[in-house]
Structure 1
Amino acid sequence: MNGCFEGVGLRCLFKGVSTAAPKPPRYLLVFDFDETIINENSDDSVIKAAPGQALPEHIRQTFRDGFYNEYMQRVFEYLGDQGVKMLNYKTVYENIPLSPGMPELFQFLSKNQDQFEIILLSDANMFGIECSLRAAGVYSLFRKIFSNPSGFDKRGYLTLGPYHTHKCPQCPANMCKRKILTEYLTERAQEGAEFERVFYVGDAANDFCPSVALTSTDIAFPRKGYPMHQMTQEMEKKQPRAFQATVVPWDSAVEVGCYLQELLKKKC
């Protein structure tokens, strides 16, 4: 493992002489899934289960920008017609590789679970996400997963629904991650949880929307060269300082872990 992940526990162990353990700092860490936790788009990956690992043209032509969820409903219906079953999907989802450095980041987080509350916001589907996270051995790290509802009907077809409705003009019709994150923070505040900072790790345009709502104490971790990163750069050029959060781009999730590691050292 990268050396920057070493030694946090011991640095904190000998601080002060008080016998009362101080309340540990609490941070909210938000992950996207596709091309963030995993190194592929899981909706593209499931096409591997189709005959010839491809979709017919008449299915692909039904795609409309902003209505990807509806498109995937048709894709899953087609795959069901072709005999694709639960085990086929499960095999695909379990074998999607994690993004570079993500295993090391999850090892770090598993050793510092008292410092971070971790949630996942994804426009994929619950079945696929759970398969992937369980296969990677990291499912238990997440307090809550927000994604489109999915399951298998009486025919054995994978079915998909929209997560919710919203009025955000920037986001797909079925999901606005800013709405989800804002409501979650409100809910947790009512429950007495106070986060010193929010960290957001993502890659896509629909990750840019919630990151705009972050404050000056928060950190946005956009994957380098992906839409979220490009949009933060464009916003900075057009509206300097309008994007309040500190932007820390990453190629490898080890870079995210190192940043969090340094933060914990400063708190010790």
Structure 2
Amino acid sequence: MAPLKRLFVFDFDWTLIDADSDYFVFEHLNAELSKIQLNSIGKVQWTDLQQRLLGELFDRGISKEDIERTLSSIPFASERIEALTLMKEHDSDLYILSDANTVYIETILKAYKIDHLFTGILTNPASFNPQGRLNVTRYHGLDKPPHQCQLPCEPNLCKGLELQKLIDSQHYDQVIYMGDASNDFCPSTRLLRERGDLVLARQGLSLEQRIKERPELVQAEIIYWQDAKDVLEVTQDIFYGRDRLSGAGGVKLISSAASSTTSLSTMVESTVTSSSTTSSASSVVDSPIDDQVEPSSSVKVLSAVESSDSKMFAQAVKA
């Protein structure tokens, strides 16, 4: 019997990485521009805002190398890398569908030597010009008619439309979508229960809220996850069977969006060892950058607390 052909599609920020790459760059390279970025939420189209602020960053002496070093310092949980590797080993197609940009995503993936795991990346195009200025443009450009999606999609990218194109491109026995934010709701509505599709929604963020508000629109089975350890456990269960951990904390799926919204972590059996239930922090692969990011003299690096708090706030507001 031929193995199932699966399509995995991932959001990037706060899904594959525990950060927002747009915020991370400015928080670590220029605190003033980072504040402008936060204060501009909802006032300027997001991709257009990044293009403008990246110009300001360049004008203040931040180089291509500064940006690449900063991106390469974003931690990537080892459990997520293990899960992605497992998916690829089972001949799955892996796509990233993100409102970040090609330079940010490709730089981070190459830093952790996992870029080869992905079949494709669908995101806003970006490139450095010869002078080192990073330019970002909309995925769905102003030269195209509006995508007219009635769900909470950004004007530059309807993730549901792009996911549907992938689904229609060839036969897939199962489709799995993983995300966290409001713009991940539209692709979640494109999945089918009859095919055994899954939505992997990060608990406590706006995708979960959207699903609760419109449960009738999401027909696929749903798993709410909290951290990279959850993601690895779900991935192992997808390939090795849901009863693989029977009697040792096996994962249980939520049958539909209208079901209870209990998180994955609270659905595991009481027999899970105390070490795995008392610590929700995922182990993190050391950054490939040996030294700390050395910004230029014009750069002000935020403290870890400032960085973490503002990213979480910004993600919640932006979503």
Q: TM-score range by the shorter chain?
A: 0.7 to 0.9
Deviation digits for residues 235-255 of structure 1 (CA, Å, limit 9, x no counterpart): 23xx4xx42011101112332
- 1:61-76 mapped onto 2 (5 Å cutoff): 61-64=39-42, 67-76=45-54
Distance 2:84 2:206 in 1: 24
Deviation digits for residues 213-268 of structure 1 (CA, Å, limit 9, x no counterpart): 111121000111111112112223xx4xx420111011123323323322323499
Displacement of 1:118 after TM fit?
0.6
What is the CA RMSD across the aligned residues, in angstroms? 2.3
- In the alignment, does 2:120 pair up with 1:144? yes
- Contact 1:49 1:84 (8 Å CA) reproduced: no
Change in Cα spacing, 1:256 to 1:77, as seen in structure 2 (3 Å) is same
Match of 1:250 in 2: 225
Match of 1:200 in 2: 177
- In the alignment, does 2:148 pair up with 1:167? yes
Task: Provide the secondary structure at the position in 1 that maps to 2:76.
Answer: coil
Match of 1:89 in 2: 67
Displacement of 1:58 after TM fit?
6.1
Task: Provide the secondary structure at the position in 2 that maps to 1:101.
Answer: helix
Distance 2:87 2:238 in 1: 13
Displacement of 1:106 after TM fit?
2.7
Displacement of 1:49 after TM fit?
4.6
- Contact 2:98 2:122 (8 Å CA) reproduced: yes
- Contact 2:27 2:34 (8 Å CA) reproduced: no
- In the alignment, does 2:83 pair up with 1:109? no
Structure 1 residue ranges (4+ consecutive) displaced by more than 4 angstroms after TM superposition: 56-63
Match of 1:227 in 2: 206
Of 17, 30, 35, 1:38 maps to: 17
- 1:50-69 mapped onto 2 (5 Å cutoff): 50-51=29-30, 53-55=31-33, 61-64=39-42, 67-69=45-47
Of 135, 143, 160, 2:111 maps to: 135
- Contact 1:152 1:158 (8 Å CA) reproduced: yes
Deviation digits for residues 15-53 of structure 1 (CA, Å, limit 9, x no counterpart): xxxxxxx422111011110011111000000113534x3
Opposite residue 179 of structure 2, the aligned amino acid is G
Match of 2:98 in 1: 122
Displacement of 1:77 after TM fit?
0.9
Q: Please, which runs of 5 or more residues in structure 2 have no aligned partner?
A: 142-146, 245-319
Displacement of 1:173 after TM fit?
1.3
Displacement of 1:180 after TM fit?
0.8
Change in Cα spacing, 1:162 to 1:261, as seen in structure 2 (3 Å) is same
Distance 1:71 1:89 in 2: 17
Deviation digits for residues 174-211 of structure 1 (CA, Å, limit 9, x no counterpart): 1111111111222x22xxxx211100111111111110
- Contact 2:12 2:96 (8 Å CA) reproduced: yes
- Contact 1:48 1:92 (8 Å CA) reproduced: no
Displacement of 1:157 after TM fit?
0.8
Paired residues, what number? 235
Match of 1:181 in 2: 163
- Contact 2:81 2:114 (8 Å CA) reproduced: no
- Contact 2:124 2:137 (8 Å CA) reproduced: yes
Change in Cα spacing, 1:266 to 1:35, as seen in structure 2 (3 Å) is closer
Q: Please, which runs of 5 or more residues in structure 1 have no aligned partner?
A: 1-21
Deviation digits for residues 34-89 of structure 1 (CA, Å, limit 9, x no counterpart): 011111000000113534x3317666655435711111111111101111111111
TM-score, length basis structure 2: 0.68
Distance 1:65 1:247 in 2: 33
